[in-house]
Amino acid sequence: MVIDMNYWGKVFKNIIIVLLSILGIFLSFKLAVFYLPFLIAFILSLMIEPIIKFTMKKTKLRRKTSSIIVFVLAFTIIIGLLVWGMTSIITEASKLLGNLNEYFDKAIIFVQNLSSKIDLTRLDIPQEVVNTIQNSAMDFVEIVMDFIKNGVTSILNFVTSIPTIGIYTAITFLALYFICVDRIYMLDQLEHHFPQQWVRKFDAHLRELIKSLGGYLKAELILVLISFIISLIGLYLFNIFELNVQYPLIAALLIGFVDLLPIFGSGTVMIPWAIISSCTGDITLGIAILVLWAVMSVVRQFIEPKVVSGQIGIHPIFTLIAMYTGYKFIGILGMVIGPIVLIILKNVFATLIDKGVFKSIFEK
């Protein structure tokens, strides 16, 4: 039997390229987490760069002066939002933890009342099965309450770790300042210390990635920010008008996070909330939540075509698999990161995917 070394050499090379690319993406995410303050500073610099250029154009000031002006404004706004957000989260989270046992008792009573209203004996279901269903419902309520308790406790511990947040914030703003002020110098140094061919290839790949992934993320973040602001304003209004909304900021953050997930949406939180409120007798709040959800949906449908230039081109089942994989690896945050990794992989291996992955690797 004659072994075609050229063919198997090509196959081996393709497999190595795929594995090294996946390893590179994995290491990139690890480094991004490790150098998170610098990543946040880089993202913020991209966001305020158009404002710096606009200031330079309108005021005829030099870049350094314009950068300092914009940086001071951004610093003031971000610090103000951080102080307000941390204060509100600490207040609401502490209150929620204090009332969690009361909510647990109410949930148990709700399940018991609901099960007593449903006559399962008409369906000829054995009593053992009925007891199992009721016990499972109780266990589910307990699991949800534990999940909420652990989540709120984690948030509270993170927010109250002032030294850690202070160090991260200080490093982020220092890095943001230097990136904004010395952007041109840094780009010159990059070109000076690396081979020109490397810089050109890196720049080409970075531009392509920003165009596909960056454009998608920018559009999604705009939509999520709009949903978050509308829900936050609406829930605070409900709180002002003495509807039973005690934790408007935490609820708005949860709605915004779920709205950020592909496939899911704000209705995943708001519709069950409205139904549960109505079933527990608070029909006014249930209707108010549904109206708020309808307003958010209409605004999103109106704005989405203007900010989203195209779809990511990935079937929902693969997006769902990516979300599940991310969740299994790193928890709740992985549900957001998983689809992002999938988009990167699709962008990196676009040629292989178009031809057929295994066909491209193994075909002679």
Rounded (5°) CA angle 177-180-181: 80
What is the per-residue burial (b if ≥16 Cβ within 10 Å, else e) of 136-161? ebeeebeeebeebeeebeebbeebee
Domain residue limits, the chain: 15-193
Evaluate whether 39 touches 30 at the Cβ level (below 8 Å): no
Residue 54: C-alpha distances to residues 23, 64, 218, 287 (Å): 40, 13, 20, 45
Count of H helices and E strands in the chain?
Answer: 15, 0
What's the pLDDT at 234? 93
Instruction: Walk along the chain (364 residues) and give the pLDDT tens digit of each residue.
Output: 455 566 667 767 777 877 787 787 778 778 887 888 898 888 888 888 888 888 888 888 888 888 889 989 989 998 998 888 888 888 888 888 888 777 777 777 776 676 666 665 565 666 676 677 777 777 777 787 787 788 778 777 877 776 777 888 889 999 988 888 887 777 777 666 677 776 676 666 666 666 666 666 777 788 888 889 999 999 999 988 888 888 899 889 888 888 887 777 888 888 988 888 888 788 898 899 999 999 988 888 788 766 655 455 566 777 788 888 888 887 777 777 887 777 777 776 666 665 655 566 566 5
Of 177, 174, 169, the residue nearest 70 (C-alpha): 177
**Side chain identity at 222, as an amino acid letter?**
I
CA distance 155 to 149: 10
CA distance 103 to 147: 13
**Side chain identity at 257, as an amino acid letter?**
F
What's the pLDDT at 1? 46
Cβ neighbours of 224 (radius 10 Å): 19
What's the pLDDT at 205? 65
CA distance 21 to 223: 31
What's the pLDDT at 199? 65
Helix pair 196-209, 183-193: axis angle to 10 deg: 130
Instruction: Give the count of alpha carbons within 13 A of 24, CB side only.
Output: 9
What residue has token string 């004659």? 2
Q: What is the pTM of this model?
A: 0.72
User: Could you read off the pLDDT of 19-45 as tens digits, one per residue?
Assistant: 787 787 778 778 887 888 898 888 888
Evaluate whether 96 touches 209 at the Cβ level (below 8 Å): no
Residue count of the chain: 364
What's the pLDDT at 120? 56
DSSP string, 287-345: HHHHHHHHHHHHHHHHHHHHH--S-----HHHHHHHHHHHHHHHSTTHHHHHHHHHHHH
Evaluate whether 44 touches 178 at the Cβ level (below 8 Å): no
